[in-house]
Amino acid sequence: MNMRGPAPVHFLLSFPKTLLLCMLVALPALSAQAQEANREPEQQFEDALRLYSENVFANAANGFHTFQIENPLHARIPEAMYYEAESYLALGRQDGAIALLSLFDQRFPLHPFAFGTRLSLGKYFFDKQDFDRAIRTLSQVLERSPSAEQSALALYWMGESAFQQKSTIEALRYFEQVITDFPETETAPRAAFAIAYNEIELGRYADAAASFERLSQRYPGTEFANRIGL
| Total count of residues recorded for the chain | 230
Q: Cα(212)–Cα(99) distance, rounded to whole angstroms? A: 43
Cα–Cα distances (Å) from 11 to 3, 7, 17, 23, 55, in that order, read 18, 7, 10, 18, 65
| pLDDT score of 24 | 46
Q: How far apart are CA 220 and CA 214, in angstroms?
A: 10
pLDDT top residue among 38 and 219: 219
pLDDT score at 189: 96
pLDDT of residue 157: 97
- Please give the Cα distance from 21 to 42 (Å, whole number): 33
C-alpha angle 177/82/76, rounded to 5°? 125
Q: What angle do CA 191, 214, 161 make, to 5 degrees?
A: 20
Rg (C-alpha) for the chain, rounded Å, is 30
User: What per-residue confidence (pLDDT) applies to 16?
Assistant: 54
Indicate whether 207 pLDDT > 80: yes
Architecture in CATH of 130-230: Alpha Horseshoe (1.25)
* 25 or 150, which is more confident: 150
pLDDT for the residue numbered 80: 96
Whether 218 shows a pLDDT value over 80: the answer reads yes
Cβ-count burial 178-194 (b if 16+ within 10 Å, e if not)? bbeebeebebbbbbbbb
Overall average pLDDT of the 187-193 stretch = 96
pLDDT digits (tens, 9 = 90+) for 45-77: 999 999 999 999 999 999 999 999 999 999 999
Please tell me the predicted confidence (pLDDT) of residue 17: 53
- CB proximity list for 32: less than 8 A, separation 6 or greater: none
Average model confidence (pLDDT) for the chain? 84
* Amino acid symbol at 144: R
From-to residues of CATH 1.25.40.10 in the chain? 37-111, 130-230
- Compute how many other C-beta atoms are within 10 angstroms of the C-beta atom of residue 24: 9
Q: What CATH number is given for 37-111 in this structure?
A: 1.25.40.10
pLDDT confidence of residue 4: 52
pLDDT digits (tens, 9 = 90+) for 110-136: 787 877 778 888 888 899 899 999 999
CA of 191: how far to CAs of 71, 76, 210, in Å?
Answer: 42, 35, 14
Instruction: Decide which of 10 and 91 is more confident.
Output: 91
Q: What is the pLDDT of residue 229?
A: 60
Mean pLDDT within 172-181:
97
Number of H helices, E strands in the chain: 11, 0
Using an 8 Å Cβ cutoff, are 190 and 224 in contact? yes
Among 192, 198, 135, smallest CA distance to 161 is for 135
Q: Band of the pLDDT at 101, cuts 50, 70, 90? A: confident
78 pLDDT more than 90 = yes
Tens digits of per-residue pLDDT, 4-52? 555 444 433 444 555 444 444 555 544 444 444 445 999 999 999 999 9
Higher pLDDT, 219 or 141: 219
